[in-house]
Amino acid sequence: MAAACTGSDSSTSSAPEPGPSSASTEPAATDVAGTPIDNTEARAGGDATVFVAGRNAFGQPIDSLTREERRAFAVGNNFFNDNWVTAPASTEGRDGLGPMFNAQSCSSCHEFDGRGAPPLAADDPERGLLLRLSVIAPDGSALPDPVYGGQLQDRAINGVPVEGRIVIERTEVHGTYADGTPYTLLAPTYTIEDLGYGPLAADIAVSPRIAPAVFGVGLLEAVPDDALLALADPDDADGDGISGRVNRVLDPSGDLVIGRFGWKANVATVEQQTASAFHGDIGISSRLHPVQDCTDTQAECAAAIDGGEPELDDAKLERVTFYTRTLAVPARRDVGDPDTDAGAAVFDELGCSSCHRPEMRTGPAAIAATSNQTIRPYTDLLLHDMGPDLADERPDGEATGSEWRTAPLWGIGLIDDVNDHTRLLHDGRARNAEEAILWHGGEAADAQNRFLQLDAAARGQLLKFLDSL
């Protein structure tokens, strides 16, 4: 375990560099050694699967896009990747950054369409971690900080004070497997220094959020609401200790709808998620978020020149949304490998698959390749209580302060290839999949406890299986 942690940490400095692009056509029914390959298992995204590993594994378009769709994908990719700049600029379609912001582009947090990581050293650039700010109202709902708003923006354009700087302290948490093997987790605490607008609310709660990988969201969006409701068991009627709930959130028109994106399933659609991130993270307004994200006390922010009303027009919002919807899912690797297959059985036996559901079926969708597909995302898209150690105490929609949406596991074995790290969970505290399992509590406490009872060989098989996803 200690060795595993060391390996994970040092990998950030020695920067393993997988190939920039390793594509392959779909394997035949048997590989060169004659082992049968189960393509159903490998085709994690159904017809929206690509057989690509390496740096660009998360950034591929679905194969079957038409020439025009492929061009729309390219346009969306461009607005996902390119930096926004300070207004006014000659590039009128790309100005309006901030006034306060966390990032200049989508891709600076979702690098190569992948997953962010927390800063590991004090002077490390922040690569996709942000803090939500909330004050819990008497009725239990989360309100924004009256001065700083609902999110700490740790950067600003020239002339506008920065809100503050995230400081992370990490405390070691020690534990032991049943076989006597010790392990060490790192428990982060977050403080905000160099506050630009005076003190935060006295009872402020900070909720760290890591940028997740973005491929496959078009498929998850195409899973019918009914399918999620069928998986839900809010009162644990079946008595298995697992009580998945759908989150219900207000959509922009004020209707109560089922949420499925975000760490607490607090956003219903890819379009809303895209517009929210543009607004909160980059400071770019759109039809869904027309007003700049400045509070009444942030005069310089309010006075700054904007980049148009809105800064991101509907056509561009549509293209970026189309882009993320049509990012294909990378195929599973090593299906049929004895250790990996044994690990898949362990995954079931421990009860991981009660929430990380292997299979779902999409319904009709506007994009043909995402319609009526059998997909293997390893999630139920439902909320589960994950216990006090992971709780951020921020309610969101119907999610409580200790509930989280089951994170999809597809592609987790490729994060290291794409993003040069293996950090997991909502704030990237887990240095690898093993630590992520160990952090599980609440409804997952029994499964976590069963993991602790495994011997080293079975643990290794389980991790190997996860690495094949």
Question: Per CB under 8 A, which of residues 141..170 are in contact with another protein?
Answer: 154-155, 157-158
Report if residue 267 touches another protein, rule: CB under 8 A. no
The DSSP H or E segment spanning 40 is helix 39-42
Q: What crossing angle do the helices spanning 456-468 and 338-350 adopt, rounded to 10°?
A: 100
The residues in 168-207 that bind another protein, with binding defined as CB under 8 A, are none
Identity of the residue, 215 or 404, whose beta carbon is nearer to another protein in the bound complex: 215
| Angle at CA of residue 212, ends 209 and 214, nearest 5° | 145
The residues in 90-129 that bind another protein, with binding defined as CB under 8 A, are 90-95, 97, 103-104, 108, 111, 124-127
Binding pattern to another protein, positions 340-359, x when CB under 8 A?
x-------------------
| Distance between CA atoms of residues 319 and 26, nearest Å | 28
Which candidate, 407, 400, 408, 404, places its Cα nearest to that of 390?
404
- For another protein, the binding residue among 4, 5, 85, 458 (CB under 8 A) is 85
Identity of the residue, 85 or 136, whose beta carbon is nearer to another protein in the bound complex: 85
Give the ranges where 311-370 is alpha helix by DSSP (H).
314-325, 338-350
Report if residue 41 touches another protein, rule: CB under 8 A. no
The residues in 300-339 that bind another protein, with binding defined as CB under 8 A, are 305, 315-316, 319, 331, 333-334, 336-339
At its nearest, how many Å lie between another protein and the CB of residue 86? 4
Stretch that binds another protein, among 47-55, 240-248, 432-440, 442-450 (CB under 8 A): 47-55
The residues in 366-425 that bind another protein, with binding defined as CB under 8 A, are 413, 416-417, 420
Sequence-distant (≥ 6) Cβ neighbours of residue 139 within 8 angstroms? none
The number of beta carbons lying within 10 Å of the beta carbon of residue 109 is 26
The residues in 440-469 that bind another protein, with binding defined as CB under 8 A, are 467
At its nearest, how many Å lie between another protein and the CB of residue 250? 32
Identity of the residue, 354 or 422, whose beta carbon is nearer to another protein in the bound complex: 422
Give the ranges where 124-239 is alpha helix by DSSP (H).
217-221, 225-231
Identity of the residue, 283 or 395, whose beta carbon is nearer to another protein in the bound complex: 283
At its nearest, how many Å lie between another protein and the CB of residue 179? 24
Identity of the residue, 381 or 415, whose beta carbon is nearer to another protein in the bound complex: 415
Which candidate, 114, 117, 129, 128, places its Cα nearest to that of 327?
114
- For another protein, the binding residue among 3, 15, 202, 237 (CB under 8 A) is 15
- Greatest CA span in the chain, whole angstroms? 69
Stretch that binds another protein, among 84-92, 181-189, 203-211, 437-445 (CB under 8 A): 84-92
Which candidate, 170, 169, 214, 122, places its Cα nearest to that of 419?
214
- For another protein, the binding residue among 3, 66, 67, 122 (CB under 8 A) is 67
Pairing of strands 182-193, 247-250: unpaired
Do the beta carbons of residue 463 and residue 438 sit within 8 Å?
no
The backbone region for 80, taken as left when phi is positive above 0, alpha when psi lies in -120 to 50, beta otherwise, is alpha
At its nearest, how many Å lie between another protein and the CB of residue 194? 13
At its nearest, how many Å lie between another protein and the CB of residue 262? 24
At its nearest, how many Å lie between another protein and the CB of residue 33? 6
Identity of the residue, 149 or 413, whose beta carbon is nearer to another protein in the bound complex: 413
- For another protein, the binding residue among 41, 43, 48, 55 (CB under 8 A) is 55
Whether the upstream peptide bond of residue 16 has omega within 30° of 0, thus cis, is: no
Report if residue 19 touches another protein, rule: CB under 8 A. yes
Tell me the CA end-to-end span of the chain in Å, nearest whole number. 21
What DSSP assignment string belongs to 377-424?
A: -S----EEE--TTT-----BTTB-TTEEEPPP-TTGGGHHHHHS---B
Report if residue 88 touches another protein, rule: CB under 8 A. yes
The backbone region for 373, taken as left when phi is positive above 0, alpha when psi lies in -120 to 50, beta otherwise, is beta
Report if residue 52 touches another protein, rule: CB under 8 A. yes
Report if residue 253 touches another protein, rule: CB under 8 A. no
- For another protein, the binding residue among 74, 143, 250, 366 (CB under 8 A) is 74
Report if residue 23 touches another protein, rule: CB under 8 A. yes
The residues in 268-307 that bind another protein, with binding defined as CB under 8 A, are 305
Do the beta carbons of residue 188 and residue 427 sit within 8 Å?
yes
At its nearest, how many Å lie between another protein and the CB of residue 417? 7
| Angle at CA of residue 74, ends 71 and 80, nearest 5° | 145
At its nearest, how many Å lie between another protein and the CB of residue 411? 13
**What number of chain residues touch another protein (CB under 8 A)?**
80
Identity of the residue, 178 or 303, whose beta carbon is nearer to another protein in the bound complex: 303
Sequence-distant (≥ 6) Cβ neighbours of residue 90 within 8 angstroms? none
